[in-house]
Structure 1
C-alpha cells in the first residue's frame, strides 16, 4: 500500500466534518431573549419581529425649506420647462402670495391655509391644513410679508404625508436580523424605545500549556509565545461576542478545572486552545474528558479536517456552560474557530445563517489537497469584471497562520479532492473583514 493510500485509509476512520458539526449544533439553543433599550440593542439579533406602533412621519410635514401653499394658487407661475419638478403651467409670470406666518419644526399649533396665502416653513415643520405643496426657497424672491413664486412645482412636491415611509403595523425588521444603526433610527422614529433581542454571547478564552509565555518576547526552546488566546479573543469579538481573554493556564489538573469552573459564572461559552492531543503534556484533554458528577464532560473527536484534526466539545461546571476545545497550533486553532467556535457563537446569538457566506470561484492555480480530509486553505478572492469570482490560494499547511493574515476568504476542498486544477470551480467562504 502506498503512503497516499495509507493516509486516505487513516482519514476514512475520522468523523466527517459535516456530521460532527451537526452533532454539536443540535445540542445548543439560542440564549434567552432580553428587553434592551435601543442603544444597547445595537449589534444584537432581534428575537421577535418589530412592528411599527405608529406611522412615520407621524404627521404631514414639509420635506424642505420653502413656502407651504395650495397648488391651485400656483397655476399661473413660471413657464413650461424641462426640469422634472416643474409643473406644466402656461403664462410665464410669477405668482404673488401673502406670507401669513412662519412654521418651524417645533411648531405645534394647527393652522389653516386660506386661498392666496402661504406659510414660510422649515424642513420638518407640520404642514398647514389645506396646503399640498412646498415651493423651494430658490424658486422665489424669498419675500417675508409677501413672496413672488417664479416656478410651480408638481402637486405634492416638498411634502411628506403621515405614514409615507412607514405605516402603523408595518414590519420594520424581522426576527433574526442584526440591529443596525439605521434600524435604531427607524425604531426610534416610529416610537419604539426598547426591543427584544438575543444577547451577545459572553465568551471566555483560555490558553493552556506549561510551555506558554505571554507576548512581547520571541519563542525560545521550551517556550512558546501565546498567540492563540489573543487571536481567538479578537475572532470572537469579530463574530459578535463579548469576549474576555483569561490568558495562560498551566497544565495543573486542579488549577485548570478550578479556573474553568470559576469562568462558568461569567460565560455563555468557554473556548480553550491547546492540550487536545494524546501526548504526555496534553493535560486539558485528560482533565475535561473525565466524567465527574455535576462537573460536565467534554468529548474529543478526531475530525476529517485539515489543518487541525482533533476538536473538543461539551460542558463545564454545574451550569453546564458549553466549551469548545481547539488545537494549540495557531493556524489550526484559527481554522478550528472558523469551522466550530464561530458557528456556535452565531447560534447562541440567534443569528441565521450560522455559517459564513460562500461563493463559487474560479481557481487561479493548481493545488493539491490531502485525501480524505476537508481542507480549509487561506485564499484571496476577487470579483471578476462582468460577474463571478476568482480565487488565489495562499500559504496553507504548516504556513496557514501567515496565509490567514493575508486572506479575505477560505478556499474549501472536499474530502475526495486530492488535486484541484487551475480554472476549476471551487467553494470559498468569505470573511466579512474590511480590506
Structure 2
C-alpha cells in the first residue's frame, strides 16, 4: 500500500477531521495472527472458530454435597419415617474408583464428584442425618477414603434420609454446559476472563489471535522532567507520556513509555531508531507546529525510501490543529505525531490513534460511542470552520461543559467523561440545545 494521501499533503490547506482519520485507517493494517498462551491472549481478538472437543462436564456429577441414592429407596421418606440406607463408600471429586449403589444403599458424594453406578439422584446432606444416626445434620465432612480403605470396601454405617428425591435430582448431566462438537467461541470474539475460562475448561492451552499492538509513547521537549523530580525554573513535569501510554492501554495496546526526548533532531531520530524494533506503532507528543523548536517536524520531514514518510498537516479542529502521521522504516511502522498540549494530545489520541489501534487488533467498533444529549450550559464562542471538542460531564442525557477551551487545562480533563462536539458551521450553542457527545468511559 502506498503512502499516498487522500488529498494533497502539506500545510497549505486545512484537512478535515474526517479526511485525516480516513487517511490513517486506509494505511493501517490488522496485525498478523499469532498463537498465544491463554493469559497472554486476554483482550485479543480470536481469529479461529473454537469447537468443543469433549463434552463439558465430561460425566454426570453431583451439584451438592450429599448422598447418591436410588430413587425407589427414598420414595415416601419423611422426618417421621426416614429411609435408612447403608453407606457403601465415599465419592470425592477426582476419585477414580466408584462404589456401585445397590438396593437399600447410598454413597456419600461431594460436589463435582461423578455419579456412581446404580445411583439415580443425589439427596443433599441437609435432607439427611449426615450418617450420624440421630437428628438432621446441617454440615458434612468432605472425607476421602484413607489409604487403607477403598470406596467399595466395608460399609461406612447408615444414613437416614428425610425427603424423597426425583430421578436426576441434583445431578449435572454430562454435556449440560457444552456438548462435544459445539461451537465454543466464534472467530472475532474478544477474549475476556469468561472466554479464557471456557477455553481452559475445554482443554485449550493456546489460541490463535490478533495480538495487542506494541505502542511506544514518547514526549518531546527540553523543558520536561519526570514526575517526582523537583522543578527547576522553566521546567514542567512530563505528563503526556503517562497520559498517552494510559490511553494506549485503555485502547487495548501494550504500551511502552519512553522518557522525554530533548529538543534535538538527531537525538530524536536516534531514539526512534532504537524504539522502532519493538513497536507496532509510535506515538509522539509535541514538536509538530511551526515554532523554532518543533523537533518532531524537523526530524521527520523529508524522509525518503526505507526511512518512510511522515506528513504534517493542519486540521480544522480545536484543540489539535497541528498533526502528523506517516510510516517509518522498512516495515512501515505507523507514527502518530500529536500536539504537545495535554488536552490536544488526549483529544487527538481519542480521535485518531485509538481507532487505528483497534483496527490493528481487528476490534469493532473502532470508535467511541456518540450520543445526543442536552447541553446544560451555553457555549458562547466556537471558532467558525473548525470542529471543536469541549470537555464535558455527561449524566442522564445531559452534558455540562467542564473547564474552558484551553488545551492546557488538565484539571478539567480529569473531571470530564465526555467530549462535546461543536460542528464546523456552528459558532455558539444555546443552553438546552442538543449536541453530539463522545462518551469516554
Report what 1:4 is aligned to: none
- Tell me how far 1:208 sits from its aligned partner: 1.8
Which residue number in structure 2 is paired with residue 46 of structure 1?
Answer: 46
Counterpart among 291, 302, 311 of residue 323 in structure 2: 311
**Aligned with 1:166: secondary structure?**
coil
Which residue among 100, 104, 120 is the counterpart of 1:116? 104
Which residues of 2 match residues 33-432 of structure 1 at below 5 A? 33-78=33-78, 93-143=81-131, 145-215=157-227, 216-218=229-231, 220-221=233-234, 223-368=235-380, 369-382=382-395, 384=396, 389-398=397-406, 400-432=409-441
RMSD: 2.3
Tell me if structure 1 keeps the 8 A contact 2:91–2:98.
no
Residue deviations 1:278-304, cap 9 Å, x none?
222213113212132210011112222
What is the TM-score normalised by the length of structure 1? 0.86
Query: 1:219, 1:225 within 8 Å by CA — same for their partners in 2?
Result: no
Structure 2 portions without partners, runs of 5+: 1-11, 132-155
Alpha-carbon distance in structure 2 between the residues aligned to 1:415 and 1:266: 39
Equivalent residue pairs, number: 403
Tell me how far apart the structure 1 counterparts of residues 87 and 362 of structure 2 sit (CA, whole Å): 56
> Which whole-Å deviations, capped at 9, do the CAs of 1:199-234 have from their partners, x for residues lacking one?
22111112123343333334744x443221222122
Structure 1: which 5+ runs fail to align?
A: 1-11, 80-91
Q: Deviations over 1:47-99 (max 9, x none)?
A: 223322222111111111011122333221249xxxxxxxxxxxx73222222
Instruction: State the SS of the aligned residue for 2:21.
Output: helix
Measured after TM superposition, the shift of residue 325 of structure 1 is: 0.5
Contact kept, 8 Å, 1:410 with 1:428, in 2: the verdict is yes
The answer (yes or no) to whether the contact 1:378–1:394 under 8 Å persists in 2 is yes
Asked if the contact 1:213/1:226 (under 8 Å) is kept, the reply is: yes
Q: Which TM-score applies when normalising by structure 2?
A: 0.85
| CA shift in 2, pair 1:372/1:54, >3 Å | farther
Dislocated runs of 4+, deviation >6 Å: none
Change (3 A) 1:420 1:152: farther
